[in-house]
Amino acid sequence: MTDPALRAFAGHAFITPALLAQALTHRSAGSLNNERLEFLGDALVNQFIAEALYRHWPKADEGALTRARAELVRESALAGIARQLDIGSQLVLGPGEMKTGGHRRDSILADAVEALVAAIYLDAGFAACRTVVLPWFTDMIAALPPPNKVGKDAKTRLQEWLQARQRGLPVYALLHEGGEDHARVFQVSCTLAEPALVTTGEGSSRRTAEQQAAEAALKELET
């Protein structure tokens, strides 16, 4: 449950702590929740990332910039930021969401990140908000593939790498599936014949695990 005395969070010292409390309150917990803040935060995050990419890739075309922005602001990316900031432990949830582990759910975490951005903006203004928020995305921006490859998922990029060299396609296999119903965990292998290589990936769905395994294979091939 959110500490009522909490004033500093995610790199910002709130002048109006009530904004932070609202940003961390899910709609399941009452009428004064973070849905409206989420709406505003979504627009702010998109603007911050659009500007950052415009400066990061001075020669990239609109299509590449648009695809890269979509990668950076997608639900799973924002949820990853939420976990780094430990937002889940501060969320205020209704009994039903608490029981089903809502503080771990990507959709709830991503919405909370957007709401938090809006709360910082309303508390301190546009410039201060951008200064706080952009560092959350620095590593992801630096890790983006070249503009002509952005937007292609790891499985597609691995397939293209192999086909360009006339090598066999990868084979994916489910190694393990477990966890509770609301927090399933899948482990998958990715096997290449040439060069001989086996990598593994893990995720909350089989598709995510396959993408992780493909990404691991690409890193091995490219190094």
The Cβ of residue 139 has, within 10 Å, a number of other Cβ atoms equal to: 10
* CA 126 – CA 124 distance, rounded (Å): 7
Contact 65, 50 (CB under 8 A): yes
* CA 154 – CA 213 distance, rounded (Å): 9
Known binder of ligand: residue 181? no
Tell me which residues are annotated as active site: 42, 114
Known binder of ligand: residue 180? no
SS (HEC) of 13-74 = ECCCHHHHHHHCECHHHCCCCCHHHHHHHHHHHHHHHHHHHHHHCCCCCHHHHHHHHHHHHC
Contacts 24+ apart (CB under 8 A), 157-165: 157/214, 157/218, 158/190, 158/214, 158/217, 158/218, 158/221, 161/218, 161/221, 162/192
Q: Give DSSP secondary structure letters for 84-109.
A: HTT-GGG-B--HHHHHTTGGG-HHHH
- The tokens describing 222, both together, are 């490219």
- The tokens describing 132, both together, are 């706080």
Known binder of ligand: residue 61? no
E-strand spans in 125-184? 171-178
Which residue numbers belong to the known binding site for Mg(2+)?
Answer: 38, 111, 114
Which residue numbers belong to the known binding site?
Answer: 38, 111, 114
